[in-house]
Amino acid sequence: MSKVPPKSKTTTGNDSLAKPAAPAPLAIPYPVWLLVVAVFLVYSRSFGLGYTELDDTIFVREFGAWNEDVTNVFRAFGRGLFDAGKDPYYRPLFSVAMILNYQMSGDSAVGYHVVNVLLHMGAVVLFYRLCLRLGVAQVQSFVLALVFAVHPVICQAVAWIPGRNDTLLAIFVLSFMLRSLRYSKDGHRPADLLLSALFLLCAYFTKETAVFAAPAALALHIGYMGRSFRNKSLLVQYVVWVVCFGVWYGARAAATIAGSGIGTATAFADLWHRLPVVLQYLGKIFLPVNLSVFPIQKDTVLWYGIVAAIVLVAVIVLSRKGQVKAMAAAIACFFLFLMPALLVPDELNRQTFEHRLYLPLMGLLLVLPQTILLPQVGDAKKLVMVWGGVCMLFAGLNYNHQQYFNDPLVFWTQAAETSPNSAYANMMLAARLDKSEVQRSEAMFRKAYQLNPKEKYLNFYMAEVLQRKDSVLASEPYLLAEKQISDYIKCDFYMARVQMEKGDRMGAIASLERYLSRDMYDAPAHNNLLLLLLDAGQTEKARAHIAAMKQMGMTVHPAIMARAGM
């Protein structure tokens, strides 16, 4: 009798009901390169952008002589950001970045925009690495990093040259967090501890927001990684974090910077007033269609934020309960990094700039893997398709928004349109229209004055308008007010004309001398001073001034030379 062949395993009754083998999990090939390409494509438009004349020309052109001397990378640690002794901002590594960029680019805007894009690329890649280190699946980590790479709400941090302060800060904070997490998990290697300390110090010396970096890292250790706050590796790091803060605080105290003049009570009173900014920022993250290059709280609608908050709460409630600690940690990171924007007193800065969302956005994105919006199990291909579509939409909005950073006129036009109650935005646009559209310019100056008569530089512009109309004496109150507010250098130049109109020749001489002590290369002012000195019979003083002008390589009109007997 022939043997019955054995049954195949696939034909048994039980095996016929067996589930097919699970497909291999989807993996994104070359994720880092894809993220770099995404950033390049979205921000390719920024390579052709110029200056906005919101701080960028100060750091590049007005600080040209400072930037030329590469040894100032060391002096930057001993002074304020805008002014050596009259500025409360202490951000030396930002100054160092501008000095080094100047060595390569001079005052050409292209080089600065290229560096900004490169910095953003670095931050995106580091954020992707952080997501992986926190245990987020590769596909989800890639999606999070891609959303961050193209999100339009942080366009300002990349397209606006001074926005690199936030991208540079993010690079140091993310590097610090990665090394801190690695130290706790991978054998407590001293090299990881030392590098985490170095990156934390660099973050401190980049921007004050870094004071919240260590608490945010602790939240990730506890919430995402499940460690106890009494974990031995964390106890060691607490000491390092305190030492780093002390080093930064000591260096800041030793630097020649001014205090803000804002008391704690005022800061917390303004915090209460600025709390709605949280909703406004949430609205711009979830529904980024009302972006502004110069946003203020008064002109930013709350409805988008209310909708976004409702959606966020609903998503958290509907998501699985097992990841509550991770979600809490991510939300804590969002609020910790947002806190400086809420604590900035109105007296110091009224703007609710979108570049301040650069780090907070990362915290909010880390909520998603714990929710139904981006689960770490399920159909990965479908997730990639859905979120790919979202990223395409965000990329388009981002690319379009970059146009408003093209030049000063475009920038300040969008600023005034989106923030009509900003005195500063109206003033800055008016100043750029004063030759092409005189009537519109004057109307905008008046509007700005009605909004805030104490706005810095506004009284000077009002005086300038009046002097152009030969209403010289009427300009005096505005010039005196501006000297009290900002002591703007050109006030003395225009005050000299007021004093001449009043017949006060000696007062005019004193005003021009004060002006030239701060702007010694203004040739018309020098010639005006010489004429006044000669009219006042101070011939010897005029001759000495002529000699000083020649030493500076300046020419003197022959008629003035003849009057001086030279």
What pLDDT digit, counting tens, does each position of 109-161 carry? 999 999 999 999 999 999 999 999 999 999 999 999 999 999 999 999 999 99
Band of the pLDDT at 24, cuts 50, 70, 90?
low
CATH number, residue 420: 1.25.40.10
Cβ distance 224 to 214 under 8 Å?
A: no
Residue of higher predicted confidence among 123 and 562: 123
Interatomic CA distance for residues 102 and 96, integer angstroms: 10
Average pLDDT of the chain, as a whole number: 90
Q: How many CB atoms lie within 10 A of CB 5?
A: 6
Interatomic CA distance for residues 196 and 200, integer angstroms: 6
Is 387 within a domain?
A: yes
Report the percent of the chain where pLDDT is more than 90.
74
The residue to which tokens 């900035």 are assigned: 344
The reply to whether 429 and 395 lie within a common domain is no
What does the pLDDT read at residue 482?
96
The reply to whether 314 and 301 lie within a common domain is yes
Position 188: which residue type?
H
The reply to whether 274 and 208 lie within a common domain is yes
Band of the pLDDT at 29, cuts 50, 70, 90?
very high
Residue of higher predicted confidence among 263 and 57: 57
The reply to whether 392 and 476 lie within a common domain is no
The reply to whether 174 and 259 lie within a common domain is yes
Interatomic CA distance for residues 444 and 498, integer angstroms: 24
Task: Average the pLDDT over 415-421 and give the result.
Answer: 97
Band of the pLDDT at 18, cuts 50, 70, 90?
very low
**Those residues with Cβ within 8 angstroms of residue 528's Cβ, 6 or more apart along the chain or in another chain:** 496, 512
What does the pLDDT read at residue 84?
82
The reply to whether 385 and 238 lie within a common domain is yes
Is 1 within a domain?
A: no
Task: Average the pLDDT over 333-360 and give the result.
Answer: 88
- pLDDT higher than 70, residue 346: no
- pLDDT higher than 90, residue 320: no
- pLDDT higher than 70, residue 12: no
What does the pLDDT read at residue 11?
42
- Helices 138-150 and 31-42, axial angle in degrees (round to 10): 10
What does the pLDDT read at residue 160?
98
Torsion of CA 228, 232, 236, 239, to 10 degrees: 50
What does the pLDDT read at residue 262?
52
Q: Which residues of 410-437 are buried (b: 16+ CB within 10 A; e: fewer)?
A: bbbbbbbebbeebbbbbbbbbbbbbeee
What does the pLDDT read at residue 559?
87
Q: Per the structure block, which two tokens stand in for 182?
A: 């690695």
What does the pLDDT read at residue 279?
96
Is 542 within a domain?
A: yes
- Helices 539-551 and 523-535, axial angle in degrees (round to 10): 160
What does the pLDDT read at residue 295?
96
Interatomic CA distance for residues 221 and 204, integer angstroms: 20
The reply to whether 112 and 258 lie within a common domain is yes
Q: Tell me the three state secondary structure of residue 88.
A: coil
Lowest mean pLDDT among 207-211, 268-272, 542-546: 268-272
Task: Average the pLDDT over 246-267 and give the result.
Answer: 77
Is 11 within a domain?
A: no
Task: Average the pLDDT over 30-39 and give the result.
Answer: 97
Containing structural domain, residue 130 = 31-405
What does the pLDDT read at residue 267?
60
From residue 124, give the alpha-carbon distance in Å to each of 143, 158, 184, 300, 396: 11, 12, 23, 28, 18
Best CA proximity match to 340, nearest among 243, 247, 204: 204
Band of the pLDDT at 566, cuts 50, 70, 90?
confident
Task: Average the pLDDT over 297-304 and give the result.
Answer: 94
From residue 114, give the alpha-carbon distance in Å to each of 117, 349, 518: 5, 28, 34
Is 25 within a domain?
A: no
Interatomic CA distance for residues 305 and 313, integer angstroms: 12
- Helices 164-185 and 92-105, axial angle in degrees (round to 10): 120
From residue 183, give the alpha-carbon distance in Å to each of 18, 141, 291: 44, 21, 40
The reply to whether 295 and 338 lie within a common domain is yes
End residue of a domain, out of 384, 405, 426:
405
What is the count of structural domains for the chain? 2
Interatomic CA distance for residues 58 and 555, integer angstroms: 28
- pLDDT higher than 70, residue 6: no
Is 5 within a domain?
A: no
Band of the pLDDT at 386, cuts 50, 70, 90?
very high
Band of the pLDDT at 494, cuts 50, 70, 90?
very high
End residue of a domain, out of 405, 439, 472:
405
Task: Average the pLDDT over 97-116 and give the result.
Answer: 97
DSSP 62: I
What does the pLDDT read at residue 207?
95
Is 37 within a domain?
A: yes
Position 382: which residue type?
K
The reply to whether 396 and 527 lie within a common domain is no
Q: How many CB atoms lie within 10 A of CB 102?
A: 24
What does the pLDDT read at residue 181?
96
The reply to whether 244 and 284 lie within a common domain is yes
The reply to whether 393 and 423 lie within a common domain is no
Task: Average the pLDDT over 412-426 and give the result.
Answer: 97
Provide φ and ψ at 379, rounded to 5°.
-80, 95
Band of the pLDDT at 8, cuts 50, 70, 90?
very low
CA atoms within 13 A on the CB side of 40: 6
Q: Tell me the three state secondary structure of residue 45.
A: helix
What spatial distance separates the first Cα and last Cα of the chain, rounded to whole Å? Answer: 137
Task: Average the pLDDT over 347-354 and give the result.
Answer: 81
Provide φ and ψ at 256, rounded to 5°.
-85, 70
Alpha helices in 134-163 (DSSP H): 138-150, 155-159
Band of the pLDDT at 14, cuts 50, 70, 90?
very low
The reply to whether 337 and 422 lie within a common domain is no
Interatomic CA distance for residues 496 and 509, integer angstroms: 7
Is 332 within a domain?
A: yes
- pLDDT higher than 60, residue 21: no
Task: Average the pLDDT over 458-472 and give the result.
Answer: 95
Band of the pLDDT at 202, cuts 50, 70, 90?
very high
Lowest mean pLDDT among 178-187, 318-327, 359-368, 514-523: 318-327
Position 145: which residue type?
A
pTM of the entire predicted model: 0.89
End residue of a domain, out of 405, 422, 445:
405
